[in-house]
Amino acid sequence: MAEPDALSGMIREIIQRHSGMPTRLLQILRDVQDHLTWLSPEALERVAEELDISPVKVHSVAEFYSFLYTAPRGSYDILFSDNITDRMLGNRELLHYLCDRLGIGIGETRADGLVTVGTTSCTGMCDQGPAALVNGYALTRLDTARLDRIVELVNGQILLAQWPREFFEVVSNIRRADILLGRHFADGSALRAVLKRGPEAILEELVKSGLRGQGGAGFRSATKWISCRSAPGEVKYVVCNADEGEPGTFKDRVLMQDFADLVFEGMTLCGQVIGARQGFVYLRGEYRYLLDSLQATLQRRREAGLLGEAILDDPTFSFDIDIHLGAGAYVCGEESALIESLEGKHGVPRIRPPFPTTHGYLNKPTVVNNVETFASAAKIAVEGGAWFASRGTAESKGTKLLSLSGDCERPGIYEYPFGVTVQRVLEDCGAPDAQGIQMAGPAGHMISARQFNRRICFEDLATGGSFMVFNHQRDILDGIRNFTQFFVHESCGFCTPCRVGTSLMRDLVTKVHTGHGTRYDLEEMRKLGRIMRVACHCGLGQTAPNPVLDSLDQFPESWERRLRSTAFEPAFDLDAALEQARQLTGRSDPGAYLREEELMLGTMP
């Protein structure tokens, strides 16, 4: 622990590096934690003093984000990605193996304070799992040999920088490229196009292109840009949503890793079109390993005259980009929660309207688009709207990047024109034995083989890109239970239907999954799901029951074969719930047990 004076000095220096801006609070806390491994009460107090904001505000941020710790952690903080695709690859066995080797339980810090091992939501390495994070940096392709080595490295207190590079290798796995990934793009060409033809002409191309939000919601990008451009106000912002938290999605990671110039170009283009001078990339914390190379790319673009003051020597064209790192909160993928987080607050979705195009970052007009959307927009500016619209379907123009994972021979990134059938994708990725697909992540839809002829487009199956394959050896309910647990963890806690509903849903699913459910419980799930869909504050809660409701329709046999024949079963093992009291009192008389036949009384109303 740092001495009080050293602590003050360190914090003051970090805050100065962030220009003393309270909007940088999340970034400041991340940096402080990097020094201390956790955020001590004294550290939080000092941050509040230095920024001159209330300690409560600092605490609310520190306690909201999964990757910020208000209790001591090990110097090596290892978090296993716990998505269903990691589980398919055996992550639970590896997790137990590592914990045994290190002599700790899951979620515990070793007594010597050296290491903590826990789990986290999907880290976006589904095509190269089982994955984990160590001190925020992505580890891929874990196996027992790697874990053995990691145990040695941890016990030998070897600095992370000296760990084998291959442990951190992240490959792109681009399996199919179309117009976005397949064609060369000359840096600066979209910016030259907007300078030559003017913002109106670019907007016309964008309208013609029919481009829709590639995060999955499908709002027309031209409408968003036009609305923001015409919104009153001198100061406007561009925000790139790279908070790719939907389990099973990793296409934005690949874009940021291999096509960062294209994305930054799209953002800069947007800045010129709407009249903004500042852009932000909100990069999910799990992709921290990309930060240095992205900063370097930004710097290279500044030096090349593609970013900063007087872009392409035009004094009226100035735009710069700042990168904000998230800290493990799925809800921040929702655009208004993302903006709250950018402003240095905890990420709770705002009430909409007003929408960000008029009241976004710092209540100024803001365009928030997905990574893929900005990349497409840059291409459209160069190649034209008609070129883009020649691909796809009537309502879904262009192409879509899909992130394939789970039970397929060739997981990775596939770019298809909109309208491709699920069947075609399965053939290409090598998944002849598919039982079902979780489309668009847990918040999307689960479909069975009966629906493999459906098409991927906004008219039919809309998706942000997640495509997880379950073969016939898999138990669909393993996936469903994993997803319900995910939503419990990621609910921001702001509204009751979501905070409580996600937990109730998880408990009901667990009850049936472990063989204690009845038909009554399935009906309860449907009722609860209906309430959540209409009563939750934001999309997270409204979509959280989707996997359960879909699978009840699509895979009824997976549920029914586990049901008890009785009309009702208690939610917990009644007799086992007396065990602790039996031990504490030392009783073994008949009254100390609940006998099976007595309990049957209540199961048959």
Partner 1 sequence: MIEPKLKIATCSLAGCFGCHMSLLDLDERLFELAERVELDRSPLTDIKELGDCDLGLIEGGVCNAENVHVLMEFRARCKILVAIGACALSGGVPAMRNQYDLKDCLEESYLRGIGLVNPQIPNDPEIPLLLNQVHPLHEVVKIDYFLPGCPPSADAIWTFVNQLLSGQPLALPYTQIHYD
Among 4, 107, 432, 602, interactor with partner 1 by CB under 8 A: 602
Report the candidate in 347, 340, 343, 342 with the shortest Cα–Cα distance to residue 325.
342
Q: At 370, phi and psi to the nearest 5?
A: -70, 155
* C-beta of residue 413 within 8 angstroms of C-beta of residue 446: no
Q: 9 vs 570, which CB is nearer to partner 1?
A: 570
Gap between the Cα atoms of 477 and 512, Å rounded:
9
Instruction: Decide if residue 572 touches partner 1 (CB under 8 A).
Output: yes
Gap between the Cα atoms of 180 and 263, Å rounded:
11
Gap between the Cα atoms of 357 and 455, Å rounded:
31
What SS3 class is residue 81? strand
Instruction: Decide if residue 519 touches partner 1 (CB under 8 A).
Output: no
Instruction: Decide if residue 586 touches partner 1 (CB under 8 A).
Output: yes
Instruction: Decide if residue 493 touches partner 1 (CB under 8 A).
Output: no
Q: 97 vs 568, which CB is nearer to partner 1?
A: 568
* Shortest spacing between CB 567 and partner 1, in angstroms: 7
Q: 473 vs 583, which CB is nearer to partner 1?
A: 583
Instruction: Decide if residue 235 touches partner 1 (CB under 8 A).
Output: no
Residue 66: count of CB within 10 angstroms of its CB? 17
Among 184, 561, 584, 596, interactor with partner 1 by CB under 8 A: 584
Q: 474 vs 506, which CB is nearer to partner 1?
A: 506
Three-state SS for 87-136 is: HHCCHHHHHHHHHHHHCCCCCCECCCCCEEEEEECCCCCHHHCCCEEECC
User: Rule CB under 8 A: which of 72-131 touch partner 1?
Assistant: none
* Shortest spacing between CB 500 and partner 1, in angstroms: 10
Q: 217 vs 535, which CB is nearer to partner 1?
A: 535
Among 97, 219, 387, 568, interactor with partner 1 by CB under 8 A: 568
Q: 277 vs 582, which CB is nearer to partner 1?
A: 582
Instruction: Decide if residue 530 touches partner 1 (CB under 8 A).
Output: no
Instruction: Decide if residue 605 touches partner 1 (CB under 8 A).
Output: yes
Q: At 437, phi and psi to the nearest 5?
A: -130, 130
Determine the residue type at 87.
R
Gap between the Cα atoms of 243 and 259, Å rounded:
16
Gap between the Cα atoms of 358 and 354, Å rounded:
7
Pick the piece of the chain touching partner 1 (CB under 8 A) from 341-349, 531-539, 555-563, 576-584: 576-584
Sign of CA dihedral 247, 396, 371, 410: positive
Tokens for 162, please give them: 């000296």
Pick the piece of the chain touching partner 1 (CB under 8 A) from 48-56, 126-134, 336-344, 566-574: 566-574
Instruction: Decide if residue 594 touches partner 1 (CB under 8 A).
Output: yes
Among 21, 351, 591, 596, interactor with partner 1 by CB under 8 A: 591
Residues near partner 1 (CB under 8 A) are 520, 567-568, 570-572, 574, 577-582, 584-587, 589, 591-592, 594, 598-599, 601-605
